[in-house]
Amino acid sequence: MAHYAIGDLQGCHAEFCRLLDLVGFSAASDRLWLVGDLVNRGPESLAVLREVEALGNAAVTVLGNHDFHLLTVAAGHRRAHRGDTLDAILAAPDRDELLHWLARRPLVVVEGDVMMVHAGVLPGWTAADALMHSREVEAKLASDDAHRFLGVLYGDEPSAWRDDLDGDDRLRAIVNVCTRLRFCTADGRMEFREKRGRDHAPAGFRPWFAHDRRRTARMLVVCGHWSTLDLELAPNVLMLDSGCLWGGALTGIRLPDRRLYQVPSRSPVTPKPFG
């Protein structure tokens, strides 16, 4: 049995299928982790959702910011952006089934000393903290209050984590950490405007994974989201978004031995942002 992790798909279905073929993936015997952002901007978001759902228990995915965007658009709380590729999902006959399945994905998965999250975790969070916070959001998305919550999900506030946050502010902060985080301070202040690489850290901020006393530093954190880093493969952080959407590659890694697999982008949607 092999265990693979793959970076942000964002509707790149053809590349996903090619990568599964390249590693010889078998849903009957292998396991697959997907770091979120299954959908949007790429050409075949509907096909990706159907493919991943059909893999059943062989595939585990966490929610990314684009997945939440789909949920909020489908709920009628936001309009699609120019460049979104969500229409096929919203018009599909199995739309409700797919959205129900997507909304019940976690934000964080922890297995032994390996964690998967879309964007990152705050330096002060332990793996147990991250998993507990993920379950808070999961419970809300599975509740009768999910529709209302999706309507108040968006926003950069609160911009700093506190353990005594409650209500919508607490859940919004958790979602922002897990699906949008790039730069933060050691005490949990977050900065969401800067999307370029680590050399562009705003004054007083560092990449979330670069803090000296990060409490998940002894774990392997598997994530994506930060495509402008290209590919960050450190001993304890695997950032797998290598910009397939922008003409880079779709990256997969076999977790036990860190063997890397890549397939080139088939049809980049637009040039990579920020050069």
Instruction: Give the residues across from 33 on adjacent strands.
Output: 5, 60
The pLDDT of residue 271 is 65
The pLDDT of residue 166 is 98
Q: Which amino acid is at 71?
A: L
Q: What is the mean pLDDT of residues 117-143?
A: 98
For the chain, state the CA radius of gyration. 17
The two structure tokens encoding residue 25: 């993936």
Per-residue pLDDT of 208-229, as tens digits, reads 999 999 999 999 999 999 988 8
Residue 100 lies in a domain: yes
Q: What is the mean pLDDT of residues 60-69?
A: 98
**Is the confidence at residue 56, as pLDDT, over 80?**
yes
- Locate all alpha helices (DSSP H) within the chain, ordered by sequence: 13-23, 45-54, 65-74, 87-90, 95-103, 127-141, 146-151, 167-180
Q: Say if residues 44 and 14 touch (Cβ distance below 8 Å).
A: yes
Identify the residue with better confidence: 80 or 120. 120
CA distances from 71 to 112, 158, 160, 269 (A): 30, 22, 25, 22
Mean pLDDT score of the chain: 95
Residue 111 lies in a domain: yes
Q: How confident is the model at residue 269 (pLDDT cuts 50, 70, 90)?
A: low
Query: Could you list the residue range(s) of the whole structural domain that residue 98 is in?
Result: 3-264
Q: How confident is the model at residue 231 (pLDDT cuts 50, 70, 90)?
A: confident
Q: Say if residues 181 and 209 touch (Cβ distance below 8 Å).
A: no
Residue 240 lies in a domain: yes
The two structure tokens encoding residue 235: 């001993």
* pTM higher than 0.85: yes
Q: How confident is the model at residue 270 (pLDDT cuts 50, 70, 90)?
A: low
Residue 271 lies in a domain: no
Considering only CA atoms, which of 42, 44, 37, 153 is closest in space to residue 89?
A: 44
For 82-86, which contacts have Cβ atoms below 8 Å and span 24 or more sequence positions?
83/41, 83/269, 83/270, 84/40, 84/41, 85/11, 85/39, 85/40, 85/41, 85/42, 85/43, 85/45, 86/39, 86/40, 86/45
**Is the confidence at residue 272, as pLDDT, over 70?**
no
**Is the confidence at residue 264, as pLDDT, over 70?**
yes
For the chain, what's the residue count?
Answer: 275
The pLDDT of residue 198 is 87
Residue 172 lies in a domain: yes
Domain with 96 in it: what CATH number?
A: 3.60.21.10
Considering only CA atoms, which of 7, 47, 53, 91 is closest in space to residue 260?
A: 7
Residue 273 lies in a domain: no
Residue 192 lies in a domain: yes
Instruction: State how far the Cα of 49 lies from the Cα of 71, in Å rounded to an integer.
Output: 13
47-61, 97-111, 253-267 — which is least confidently predicted? 253-267
The pLDDT of residue 234 is 86
Q: What is the mean pLDDT of residues 11-27?
A: 97
> How many domains in the chain?
1
Q: How confident is the model at residue 275 (pLDDT cuts 50, 70, 90)?
A: very low
